[in-house]
């Protein structure tokens, strides 16, 4: 009867079961390369044209620390870029926070939250 199923469904590539356990090759599930699931990227933004590159990194699941100090001179551009980054964080169900007198913004992808509690130092 096993041959009938093999003929109809094709040979199974699942390893043989020995006792109650099945031997698995983890490389089949992890991939051959040493891929990192999450990266922290550093970006400097001076114009709205830089925004799509940063958004792509967040959509790809990376954390991005953005230096927005160059935008401080142009309030309209500053607000526009921040609104764009907030939308991306909301879109991916991530998080966003400003650091260092709003010189830096950290934007995270899905599954990464930023704690607002400070560690150490004076309050």
Domain layout of the chain by residue ranges:
40-108
* Percent of the chain whose pLDDT exceeds 90: 52
H-state helical runs in the chain: 2-9, 27-30, 51-59, 75-91
Give every CB contact of residue 67 below 8 A, 6+ residues apart in sequence. Answer: 42, 43, 44, 45, 103, 104
Q: What average pLDDT does the chain have?
A: 82
- Average pLDDT rounded to a whole number, residues 48-53: 91
Note the pLDDT of residue 100.
79
The backbone region for 5, taken as left when phi is positive above 0, alpha when psi lies in -120 to 50, beta otherwise, is alpha
Q: Which residues is 52 bridged to in the sheet? A: none
Domain spanning 40-108: which CATH class is it, in words?
alpha beta
Question: Is pLDDT at 82 greater than 90 in this prediction?
Answer: yes
Of 8-17, 86-95, 96-105, 112-121, where does mean pLDDT reach its minimum?
8-17
């Amino acid at each position: 009867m096993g041959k009938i199923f093999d003929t109809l469904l094709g040979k199974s590539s699942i390893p043989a079961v020995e006792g109650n356990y099945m031997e698995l090759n983890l490389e089949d599930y992890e991939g051959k390369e040493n891929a990192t699931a999450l990266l922290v990227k550093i970006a400097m933004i001076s114009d709205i044209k830089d925004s799509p590159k940063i958004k792509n990194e967040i959509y790809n699941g990376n954390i991005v620390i953005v230096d927005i100090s160059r935008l401080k001179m142009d309030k309209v551009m500053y607000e526009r870029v921040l609104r764009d980054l907030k939308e991306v964080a909301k879109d991916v169900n991530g998080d966003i926070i400003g650091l260092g007198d709003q010189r830096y913004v950290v934007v995270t992808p899905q599954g990464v939250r930023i704690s607002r509690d400070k560690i150490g130092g004076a309050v």
